[in-house]
Amino acid sequence: MTTRRRFLLASASSLALLAITRSATAAGDDADLEALIARMTIEEKAGQLSLFADPLRLASRRINPDAGPSMVDSGLAQRIREGRLMGLFNGVGAADGRALQRIAVEQSRLKIPLIFGADVLHGLATVFPIPLGEAASFDPALAERTARAAAVESTAAGIHWTFAPMVDIGRDQRWGRVAEGAGEDPYLGALFAAARVRGFQGRKLSDADSLLACPKHFVGYGGALGGMEYNSAEMSEQTLHEVYLPPFKAAFDAGALSTMAAFNDLNGVPMMAHHRLMTGLLREQWRFRGMVVSDYTADRELVMHGVARNERDAARLSILAGVDISMQSDLYNQHLPSLVAGGEVPLAVVDEAVRRVLRTKKRLGLFDDPYRSLDPAAQRRDTRTPATLDLARESARASIVLLKNDRGVLPLRKTGQKIALIGPFGADTANLAGPWAPFSDMKDAVSLEQGLRNAMGGRATLTVVKGCDPERTIRGGIEDAVAAARDADVVLLALGETQDMSGEAASQTDILLPIEQQKLAEAVVAAGTPVVVLLRNGRALALEGAVRDAAALVVTWFLGTQTGNAIADVLFGEVSPSGRLPVSFPQSSGQQPFFYGHRSTGRPQTTAKDPYWKARYRYVSHDALYPFGHGLTYASFRYGDVEVGPGTLPWDGTITLAATITNTGRREAEETAQLYVRDRVASLTRPVRELKGIRKLRLAPGESARVTFTLSRAELGFHDEQMRFVSEPGAFDAWIAPSATAGKAATFELLGPAGAS
């Protein structure tokens, strides 16, 4: 009995040792750190692997640069003096941070500086659109700029490390954390992951405004079964490697030097104990040299997962798997010393984890200047600057997606119109930031109503009626709303989710609008005035009835500080909408999980006339209401045929695919051309389409432009049944199209290697 267990234990330890020997050689340039490690006690080492939420500053959530020092006499201060703390997270403020850092570098034995982390997902004080919204811009360069601005604001406020970007793929919209990522597609996800890492980290990690990135949650968290938060994920190795891992790889290739281990188990192995992925893939195969932090108390949760006998065992499994830092549970502090003394965890494993932490602190410049990013004057100077607020407006505008615009009801005229703003989110200011913006300063945030008023400047009439609360009726609310609708030339109907309906721990069994809002919409649309529905949402929604059938539909996500101004810019035509859906909007909730890049089934429904014995539901086909990539502008565009040149892609060469796109509308607008491919015949079923390229082009009326994309065989490859990455010669379809379901395919052929028959 003990033999099997011992054997497993021994083999995990020796694998961990193997990884250490390899990277220790590479760490030869850090002799100073080696000397430091040699002086550390096992308690100090465990301390460098233990991270805690900042209990005092978290409670106040203040971002006042002059606050503090608040906790010099607390028990935490004593812990810092004893060198038993790696750092703190989710406390913000340069002055407090400085005071705490002073304790570490002046009063602790080894004077190792603390690191301060925080969940800065889409801005600190200034709030940019939620990451899912910003992904709708289909513009990674924009995400890089907002991440940079967030880094400047955060580092000024005493933060060195953000637990972002969140790069989980979200294919089930019941899962609330879809809001934090870049949507359903691995290609788009990888582009945004890399861009955000570049933006956060800036030019050099040691710069005072560089924010260490932490792509999370490694890995498969978005695959939670049934879309239920914290649930197990079950997926093929192929799906793991082709869908869930690529954004992480892109983030590490862009230089991210930390990652967070996820809460979930993957095919039965909790990620916190997943040696094969955490060490084998991450460290040995990908050569990742940064540090891995657990999610909040996730090591302790190995007990509830039923793979650890007790907390001590949980600490042992986590450190052996490759999780360097224990967040919040204190298990490493409590158990690593005795686990090492008892020979259950080799000292070398602990040393290597400490080495990764110290090396990262060194790269951040904390040993040279422990007070970097802890300057109250910088916090005053760099918080909510006019340039950052402008960027918040620009990014919010670019995130808005126009799904539908019947009879050109949009854009609105600014003068001489009677506009009724109806719905729970018209005047609302409590749901502008989105679910994960704990440090936002929303005191001057612009509500939808305020944004409209700013734009109209009194030249049109605006009547504002709530109609209902987000999840409750208001007595007489519907009657008032209908009266306002009847009296107006156009209705703006502001519906959707409160910010606590999406985000962490906010899974839903369906993705419908709350019934109270649906009833309001039915009554308002029946009044006969043209209705523009403005959706506030952290996920794709299943739109039904009057909402689905309204004259115009606009997806506004949670847009942050500049919400109202940005929406007004689009509604009044200051800018043409340009956003595209990063998640498919299904016809019905019950289609979840639902995403465009599903594998080919044997019985696809190819025509609407042929509903029987096909892959579909009784009342609903396997199609989107609005597909991934969809989004209208105030112009219209014609796509020419896809040109494939000679039609062949040589094995070691490239192929250029091109199409001419013409603005056939009456105003300038930005179009987003998308390249999709499909492998016609392969040894495994392949997605019906896969995104392989994006081009944004701004065209004046009547203007044409030719877009080109280049592909090589690597981009057509996949993992075969034995998990070998292969490209298989043969025919591929290619689309250059405005969405994942639009366009006409052309075909090209990947030729085999020269000499192969």
Residues forming contacts to ligand NOJ in the complex (CB under 6 A) are 90, 119, 163, 216, 295-296, 504
CA nearest neighbour of 521 among 492, 557, 559, 501: 492
Contact at 8 Å (CB) between 494 and 426? Answer: yes
Other Cβ atoms less than 10 A from the Cβ of 32: the count is 11
Considering the complex, state which of residue 163 and residue 200 has its C-beta at the smaller distance from ligand NOJ: 163
Q: What is the closest distance, in whole angstroms, from the C-beta atom of residue 125 to ligand NOJ in the complex?
A: 18
Question: What DSSP assignment string belongs to 439-508?
Answer: T---TT---HHHHHHHHHTTSSEEEEE--EETTEE-TTHHHHHHHHHHT-SEEEEEEE--GGGSSTT---
**Rounded Cα–Cα distance for residues 277 and 259 (Å):** 13
- Measured at CB, which residue is nearest to ligand NOJ? 163
Considering the complex, state which of residue 90 and residue 498 has its C-beta at the smaller distance from ligand NOJ: 90
**Rounded Cα–Cα distance for residues 679 and 717 (Å):** 9
- State CA 115 to chain mean position distance: 23
CA nearest neighbour of 215 among 244, 240, 176: 244
Considering the complex, state which of residue 166 and residue 659 has its C-beta at the smaller distance from ligand NOJ: 166
Q: What is the closest distance, in whole angstroms, from the C-beta atom of residue 230 to ligand NOJ in the complex?
A: 9
Considering the complex, state which of residue 298 and residue 581 has its C-beta at the smaller distance from ligand NOJ: 298
Q: What is the closest distance, in whole angstroms, from the C-beta atom of residue 382 to ligand NOJ in the complex?
A: 23
Considering the complex, state which of residue 119 and residue 139 has its C-beta at the smaller distance from ligand NOJ: 119
DSSP lists the bridge partners of residue 87 as 51, 115
Is 295 considered catalytic here? yes
**Rounded Cα–Cα distance for residues 131 and 406 (Å):** 29
CA nearest neighbour of 635 among 665, 670, 660: 665
Q: What is the closest distance, in whole angstroms, from the C-beta atom of residue 222 to ligand NOJ in the complex?
A: 12
Structure tokens at 680: 């016609």
Considering the complex, state which of residue 295 and residue 382 has its C-beta at the smaller distance from ligand NOJ: 295
Residue with tokens 């709030």: 127
Contact at 8 Å (CB) between 582 and 185? Answer: yes
Is omega for the bond preceding 593 within 30 degrees of 0, making it cis?
yes
Q: What is the closest distance, in whole angstroms, from the C-beta atom of residue 119 to ligand NOJ in the complex?
A: 5
DSSP lists the bridge partners of residue 233 as 224, 266
Q: What is the closest distance, in whole angstroms, from the C-beta atom of residue 296 to ligand NOJ in the complex?
A: 4
Q: What is the closest distance, in whole angstroms, from the C-beta atom of residue 429 to ligand NOJ in the complex?
A: 25
Considering the complex, state which of residue 277 and residue 532 has its C-beta at the smaller distance from ligand NOJ: 277
Strands 690-699 and 669-679: antiparallel
Q: What is the closest distance, in whole angstroms, from the C-beta atom of residue 746 to ligand NOJ in the complex?
A: 43
Q: What is the closest distance, in whole angstroms, from the C-beta atom of residue 231 to ligand NOJ in the complex?
A: 13
The beta-carbon contacts of 25-30 under 8 Å, at least 24 apart in sequence, are 26/289, 27/355, 27/359, 30/355, 30/358, 30/359, 30/362
Considering the complex, state which of residue 163 and residue 425 has its C-beta at the smaller distance from ligand NOJ: 163
**Rounded Cα–Cα distance for residues 216 and 224 (Å):** 15
Cα three-residue angle 459-450-176, rounded to 5 degrees = 140
Among residues 119, 168, 172, 295, which one is catalytic? 295
Contact at 8 Å (CB) between 196 and 165? Answer: yes
Other Cβ atoms less than 10 A from the Cβ of 706: the count is 11
Considering the complex, state which of residue 133 and residue 176 has its C-beta at the smaller distance from ligand NOJ: 176
Considering the complex, state which of residue 163 and residue 332 has its C-beta at the smaller distance from ligand NOJ: 163
By 3-state DSSP, what share of the chain in percent is helix, strand and coil, each rounded to 5? 35, 20, 45
Cα three-residue angle 438-444-450, rounded to 5 degrees = 120
Is omega for the bond preceding 350 within 30 degrees of 0, making it cis?
no
Catalytic positions, written as ranges: 295
